Structure 1
Amino acid sequence: MGEGKSSVIVQIVAVHLADGTRLVCVIVAKPQSKQMRHMLVTKLGGLLDRQVHFLPFSRSVIMDHQKLELIRNMLQSCMTNGGVLMIQPEEVLSFKLMGLELVGTNTTGRSDAALGKGMVRLQQYVEDHSRYIIDESDENFSVKFELVYTIGMQKAIDMSPERWIIIQEVLGLINSYASEAMHQHPDGILRAPGRNGQFPLLRFLRVAAADSLLQSVARHIRDKGIHGLALAHQSSQVRQIVFKYITQVGMDEDDVRLGETGRHGFFSDKIRNVLYLLKGLFVGGVLAFAFGQKRWRVNYGIAKRSLPTMLAVPYRAKDSPAPRSEFSHPDIVIVLTCLSHYYGGLSEEALDTAFEQLGRSDQGSMAYGDWVKESPSLEQVYHQLAGVNLKDRAQCVARVYPALRQTKTVVDFYLRTVVFPQEMVEFPKKLSASGWDLARPKRHPITGFSGTCDSKLVLPIEVEHIDLPE
């Protein structure tokens, strides 16, 4: 690192290979694109009089035959004149996926099979004539880098709204048993102090501490049940089967048969879905991942960006959200979104919306009573919903909202009634491509440069890692 890989070597290799018989493509990730653009233009364009081309492309581009012809002519001119094409990996993959989308589906409202076939042919032309030079190849080849094209009409995810209600209840149990686990493992759990009713900042530092805490939560579910899984009146055998299922990777066949033929047919399809969800949270590692490997405002958080969303999104660094990335696993999204709102609290606009939803609810007074129980700093005069005058803005902002903004029951209500019903949707089909698609075998080889060798064991199968001599 820092030895001129991007500023010197990539430039020399690109000029040498751009001999008029190959389309030389310098592929660089978005964070380094501005610097690489400046170096290519000043060195290749300014000193050597070589043309540097760019192809900004995304799904927002409305393609037609005229634009396709312009792109084809530009690529051919770049190759024959010895130019260099600088492009980002998501632009390469986006062009590929759009062609497949236009060929294979009519659900987008702008599908054109002839245009799609033309894009596929141009993609094949590029693969036959291109010579890829990939800067920071360890990052661009990572399987974590994935581009997804969703297809079809949105629909609610499976098990909604029970899915997020159960997860919110599990998070509440984690908070309840965190103190006990901290006494057993003082150095294994980080828990910031917080007032009653608030979900404190919580992190798993040791695997043993995390396992102990999650086992305590699982035992609570076994003994008392959870939303959608009433176990209090079930036999000890059924409760033990449930406990083993949500805390162990496998189960004995005898336990499975006993559960399926248990009293009153307990293990119905609806119960199985709840068990699948809990198994993913505990055994599947969703909770351990969220509390152990992700840090709020460093790896995830709520962000204001060009594509607005109220869900948690990945962060590149401290307070630096990724502009377009999203978490793909729905349970991870729900957990991290809950934690982001627990830690950061609700904004004034969010609380306005929560009170509006409360006013529309038939059980608004009862729900507000739950808010009051978990908000000890709320003044007595506002303990009845009728005592809150939402039209008195100064009163709400100064005396009501500060006591409610980080109360877990308030946040849960807002997420259940506003955020998750609106944001937690899925599509019937999708097209996806990852960094490994950049390494597909082509006529010409691929050259990648990286300042580290940490990822050499997870490189694409077609890519061979070569260490430079000391």
Structure 2
Amino acid sequence: MPIVTVSDIVRCSFDNEMLYTLTLGLNEDAREKFKKEVLQYLDICVLEDKVERILWKAERSTDASDAQVVYELTNVRQWQSVEFPYWLAFEVEGRLQIRHKQYVVAQHLINGPGTVCQLNMGRGKTRVILPMLLLYFTQSRCARVVRAHFLGPLLSEARHFMHRYLSASSAQLCIFEQPFHRQIDLDARRLELMRDILDEMKLFGGIQLVSPADRMSLELKRLELGKEASIANTLDEILENDQFVDVLDECNALLHHKYHLMYAVGSPIPLCSGIERWKVAEALLSVVADRSVGSRVTKVLETPHVSCVSPDYSARLGAYDGTRLNTVVQSTELLREHLKKAVVLDLIDNAAFELMWLHTLGNENTCASLVMAITDISGSLHEALGNHLHKFSPYISQLLALRGLVAFGVLGHCMENGIEWTLAFRFLVFGRRKSRSRSVLRMFLRKDPNLVTRTFVLFSRYWDIIIERQQYSQWFESVKAGLSDENRKALGDVRHISLADARQFGTLYKAYTFCMEAINFYLNTCVFPRDTAQYPQRLSRTAWNLAAGASNIGFSGTNDNHRLLPLSVTQFRNVHRFHGRVFFSLQRTRRRKLLSTLALLAGVSNHEAATFLLEQTGFGFAGVTYFDGRRESNCWMIAEKTRRVVIPSEKASMTESETFVIFDEARSRGSDMKLSPNASALLTLGPRLTKDKLMQGAGRMRQIGCNQTLWIASFDEVALSILQSNEEREISALTALDVLNWVVANTKAESVRGLLEWASNGIHYRKTQLARETELVDEDWSLETLYQEKVTADKIARVIESKACFGVEDVDDALIAQICGRGCVYGLDDEVCMSAHTNESERELHVEEEEQQVHELEVPVCKPMKEKSWDYSRILGARSIEDLRGIVNVVCMDSCIRQWTTLTNLADLAWTSTQIVGTEKFFATVVARRGIDRMNEFLRVIDVMLIFENDQVLLVSEREADQILELLWSTSDSCSFRLVNFALVCEGVDRIGRKTQFRDVPLALGCRLDQEVPVLSLAACHVFNGETMPTTRQQAVLNNVLCDLLKPVAQREATLGNFVMSRGNGHKWTRSFLHELCCRMDLELQVLKSGLP
């Protein structure tokens, strides 16, 4: 006889194989009787646990425990253990009892695919209902695989829980997690393994755990593979939605309309007008930070309720003063408009070097039009400038950047949402995309010595291209006032600075850590040129794709956006909305004062917050419980006060009820902690807080209606917003009910604003279902598209209808009709401001609608182009470029620039007069799609040139140069060209000057070496290579020919600046020889047109 354990008894209640193993000697009737007795035994175990809970709570004799005793006594099971024995086993092993409400929700989801339910926080959604669903679908031998979706931050916690109660338990379910990202190379072997695992789970049961990003990334990978038949068919089988039952945890967040996953498609290209964007942002922030006498901006900012200043910034040398704008309320709307005009007028009066044209051209006659163009979005840029447009034509890019920052509210939004001034770049440079540079900026602002060192190393490396030490002088002048006399003398001259001197480096560290000018240098040199690359097209996935299957079920603690869920799922309305209990409890709070504190954990990690709390002398808890999101931890941790150790909570000697618990925003959803019955919590309010976040935060207090208390805190600006929304006169008169009314109003407004994006996502999803080729979407982040046109107000319903008609005019589709119908129901009376540029470039006006969406961007890897050989010996007989026909394909310089770069204005240079062409292999460096991909960052640098007797120039690749050079060395045949190295030509010009001949160029080979080097071609090569700072002698030779070369180009500074940046020389551009030449030519032309003296 086998030795029977309790686990065996529990398992045989639902596992017939185990039952037969234990009852081999019994007949069928005896076996059924044994199973019935097992179920009865398990029922008694559940009852025993229930009695123990009731006795424990009754002994506590508090209001909370009394209510819980009543709740336990009234909880009666409504389902039969014979029908769901695996649920009974789950109760026994988890020492719990399934509540009636939990059973109702689970039963509805089982019987109603395509629906989601709302159940209040703390009611066992993830810990009880989700395991119930997983057990039902796996134990009932469903032919489909159960796929459970969790938010990324909660995935590891969910995996640990499922492993403990579903895998390492009597259920013994196989749990398969499928992480994926774009850089994973899929091959037949890996795909076969994935398919085999799915087949195994179909046969024997199992659970697949995924995050939305992992699943959507795999779907996008399928689109990226295209028609690669070898693996595409297998991947299609793996992604087939009909084989899954999709269970969505926290579906209110998983299916939110703002979440996108995007694959960037094509070759990376520099951000259009990138230099103009961040230079303008830096200039505007400098104006805001200026506190000199007579500053218009300072006068507006000092008005009550307009802004606030962080006192921590006052002692920082050369730093931004921490000014942050308060949220706009009715009393400050007009002041915000005054601030826009004040910023522009102060900028005109004190224009930086890059914007000196503002001061020169912004005279009395044009000032009003200029200010209107930059601050007013009710008219287009052309309408605002009117007859003065021609004067500003070379500076359109900078004007549009100014207009985007000021008129479209980007600067105001950034100053509202981030005390750290560098957050402005995040929105201007990346639009609504996730910024990779934010962490770099924070590291700098947090006094990272490595970054400070790197900045000075870069500075010293580029020292030779800084004219008269102007760059360092700007740094020094910004911190000079706060330095001692000794330090002023030590740091006054950059030539006296040595990074090897530890003492001097310490002084540099203290002086320039927060210096705006030093940070600008680092950003402009390292961060922006590298991290602002854009891609010509994208593939995307949204919540509509996530809910594309027919068997979606889910639940959430809140239901704020149930009207904005994909139409494939619906909110079940018959279940009681239990979150009203939290609302009722908040209304009854005895605390009638709204606290105004700086309690928000913005920019502080949980680990840092825990460390700070433990260092406080009056800290009265045994430790701090927090979630450590660092890669080496990634779990809940407890930092003990006495022993000064940090260990995972599951291994700690104390429970979370003995500690101070930190819930950041990410952990306020889905995290469950057993807190003390009389615990108090501090709930912080942010601008435009919605009910979803409030309920999730307050819901961490599971006994909020009993002895647990909740304190509410906010900034002054939030209190002022609540005050005005409730028409109160004094902040002290506000109550918790006023906060709830304000939150509900915010939620309603947020839902209306999200309607347009929800509809856009749905329409795009349906278009891709009808026509697969529409998956690929063209990107257009040009300033002209974003900010040039005026914005007009229109009803949301009409905007949705117009978007639905765009691209599917002749299609009568039921889903699109439903989307338009919902738009008419909820968006008939509300308006949105959008651009008149095209149907696809709407730009919402409201500052909240400028909020960055939660986008995850995965970029492609570029592949090098393989070079093919040609008959190099035939070039010896060529006397001109025309003779190369049939030998090698050659491409004109202007044609290449127009076809393969985004800077088409660069093709307007006088390339024809330079007579420069290149071989096809010279220009083709990476695999790219003609007419779609752009190769700004992959253009080859000119190294070797073939200059014919008629001064025509042929550019060749390194491999071609090697072959031709070997040919010239190995043959005695004559040729009609000279083979020279560009760098050596420049060296010869530096030695000889204007009349440099080929014989003066080291290592020159070929015929007629007594001819002069064509200076115009040399100047063009300098420009193409992105060289900005020739030597003094070279400048004298190239100055006039460069003027002739650049003369046909409009917006010289913008065009050449962005091209230089794309060549990796952005750090060499500012105030270089080429930069000043472009500025001078642009300004002279406009002064001449304007008739100014």
Q: TM-score if structure 1 supplies the norm length?
A: 0.81
Structure 1's 205 and 190: CA in aligned 2 closer, same or farther, altered over 3 A? Answer: farther
Give the superposition deviation at 1:448.
1.8
**Equivalent AA in structure 2 for residue 181 of structure 1:** V
Equivalents in 1 of 2:242, 2:433: separation in Å?
41
2:357 alignment partner, SS class: coil
What residue is the counterpart of 1:13 in the other structure?
133
What SS does the aligned partner of 1:161 have? helix
1:386 equivalent in alignment to 2:495 = yes
**1:374 and 1:346, CA in 2 relative to 1: closer, same or farther beyond 3 A?**
farther
Residue among 306, 324, 335 paired with 1:203: 324
Residue by residue, what CA displacement relative to the aligned partner does 1:61-116 show, whole Å, maximum 9, x if unpaired?
Answer: 22101111111121122123232211111110011011111117xxxxxxx45324
State how 1:102-141 maps to structure 2 within 5 Å: 102-103=225-226, 112=228, 114-123=230-239, 125=240, 127-141=241-255
- Name the counterpart of 1:248: 376
2:318–2:516 contact (8 Å) kept in structure 1: yes
Give the residue type in structure 2 aligned to 1:231.
Answer: L
Residue equivalent to 1:266: 391
Q: Structure 1's 10 and 328: CA in aligned 2 closer, same or farther, altered over 3 A?
A: farther
Q: Is the 8 A contact 1:190 1:205 kept in 2?
A: no
Contact 2:475 2:517 in 1 (8 A): yes
8 A contact 1:218–1:246 mirrored in 2: yes
**Counterparts in 2 of 1:344 and 1:200: CA distance versus 1, 3 Å:** farther
* Contact in 2 for aligned 1:345/1:411 (Cα 8 Å): no
Distance in 1 (alpha carbons) for counterparts of 2:340 and 2:370? 15
Residue deviations 1:229-270 (CA, integer Å, cap 9, x gap) = 723334545332232222222217xx835735437x1242x4
- Stretch deviating more after TM superposition (329-338 or 282-291): 329-338
* Matched letter for residue 430 of structure 1: R
Contact 2:300-2:306 within 8 A present in 1 as well: no
CA distance in 1 between partners of 2:437 and 2:571 (Å): 37
Aligned to 1:405: 513
Provide the rounded CA distance (Å) in 1 between the counterparts of 2:343 and 2:535.
33
Structure 1 residue corresponding to 2:469, chosen from 358, 365, 387: 365
Query: What residue in structure 1 maps to residue 214 of structure 2?
Result: 91
Structure 1: runs of 5 or more not aligned: 105-111, 302-310, 314-326
Q: Distance in 2 between matches of 1:412 and 1:42?
A: 51
- What residue identity is the alignment partner of 2:261? L
Cα 1:356–1:250 change in 2 (3 A) is: same
Alpha-carbon spacing, 1:294–1:79, altered in 2? closer, same or farther (3 Å): farther
Q: Which among 138, 161, 166 is matched to residue 275 of structure 2?
A: 161
Matches within 5 A, 1:23-42: 23-42=145-164
CA 1:405–1:293: 2 relative to 1, 3 Å: closer
Residues 1:184 and 2:303 are matched in the alignment: yes
Between the aligned partners of 1:51 and 1:225, the Cα distance in structure 2 is 66
Distance 1:29 1:10, change over 3 A: same
CA RMSD of aligned residues (A): 3.2
- 1:152 and 2:266 are equivalent in the alignment: yes
Q: Partners of 2:432 and 2:355 in 1: how far apart?
A: 19
Name the CA shift for 1:158/1:412 in 2 (closer, same or farther; >3 Å): same
| Deviation per residue, 1:182-204 (Å, 9 max, x gap) | 32125633343425621122322
Tell me: CA distance 1:271–1:365, structure 2 relative to 1, closer, same or farther (3 Å): closer
Letter in 1 for 2:155: S
Asked if structure 2 preserves the Cα contact closer than 8 Å seen for 1:28 and 1:134, the reply is: yes
DSSP-derived class of the 2:183 partner: coil
Letter in 2 for 1:387: H
State the match for 2:572 in structure 1: 466
- C-alpha distance 164-188 of structure 1, shift in aligned 2 (>3 A): closer
What does residue 323 of structure 1 align with? none
Could you tell me which residue of structure 1 aligns to residue 407 of structure 2?
283
Does residue 238 (structure 1) correspond to residue 366 (structure 2)? The answer is yes
Cα shift at 1:169: 0.7
* 8 Å contact kept, 1:259–1:266: no
Once the two structures are TM-superposed, the CA of residue 364 in structure 1 deviates from its matched residue by 5.8
Between 1:204-213 and 1:47-56, the stretch displaced more is 204-213
Does structure 1 residue 214 correspond to structure 2 residue 349? no
Q: Deviations over 1:162-219 (max 9, x none)?
A: 2211111111112226642332125633343425621122322232265443331123
- Which amino acid counterpart does residue 443 of structure 1 have in structure 2? A
CA contact 1:191–1:202 (8 Å) conserved in 2: yes
Aligned to 2:571, the other structure's residue is in SS state: coil
Give me the whole-angstrom Cα distance separating, in 1, the residues matched to 2:155 and 2:349. 56
Question: Is the contact between residue 437 and residue 527 of structure 2 (CA under 8 Å) also seen in structure 1?
Answer: no
Separation in structure 2 between the aligned mates of residue 372 and residue 37 of structure 1, nearest angstrom = 54
Cα distance in structure 1, aligned partners of 2:398 and 2:404: 10
C-alpha contact (below 8 Å) 1:174/1:214 kept by paired residues: no
Contact 2:348 2:358 in 1 (8 A): yes
Amino acid of the structure 2 residue aligned with 1:32: L
Aligned amino acid, residue 243 of structure 1: V
Larger Rg belongs to: 2
Q: Which amino acid aligns with 2:127?
A: S
Aligned residue identity for 2:122: G
Distance 1:20 1:33 in 2: 24
8 A Cα contact 1:371 1:409, kept in partner:
yes
Higher relative contact order (Cα pairs below 8 Å, separated by 6+ residues): 1
Q: Is contact 1:222–1:240 with CA below 8 Å preserved after alignment?
A: no
Assess, with a 3 A threshold, how the Cα gap between structure 1 residues 339 and 52 changes in structure 2: closer, same or farther.
closer
> Identity of counterpart residues, as a percentage?
21
Between the aligned partners of 2:143 and 2:149, the Cα distance in structure 1 is: 19
Q: 5 Å matches for 1:64-103? A: 64-103=187-226
Question: Quick check: 2:373–2:385 contact (8 Å CA) kept in 1?
Answer: no
Residue 286 of structure 1 contacts residue 331 of structure 1 at CA under 8 Å; is this kept in 2?
A: no
Question: 2:431 corresponds to which residue?
Answer: 329
Pick the aligned partner of 1:173 from 283, 287, 292. 287
Secondary structure of 2:369 counterpart = helix
Cα 1:240–1:461 change in 2 (3 A) is farther
Tell me which of 542, 550, 555 is aligned to 1:434. 542
Q: What's the counterpart of residue 320 of structure 1?
A: none
Once the two structures are TM-superposed, the CA of residue 117 in structure 1 deviates from its matched residue by 4.6
Preserved contact between residue 498 and residue 505 of structure 2 (Cα < 8 Å)? no
Letter in 1 for 2:318: G
Q: Which moved more, 1:362-371 or 1:221-230?
A: 221-230
2:318 touches 2:512 (CA, 8 Å); kept in 1? no
Q: CA deviation at 1:339?
A: 6.8
Deviation at 1:7, TM superposition (A): 0.6
Worse-matched range after superposition: 336-345 or 226-235: 336-345
Closer, same or farther: CA 17–53 of 1 in aligned 2, 3 Å = same
Q: Residue 173 of structure 2 is aligned with which of 13, 30, 50?
A: 50
Please tell me whether the aligned partners of residues 199 and 343 of structure 1 are also in contact (alpha carbons under 8 angstroms).
Answer: no
Counterpart of 1:292, as a letter, is E
- Conserved 8 A contact 1:134-1:449: yes
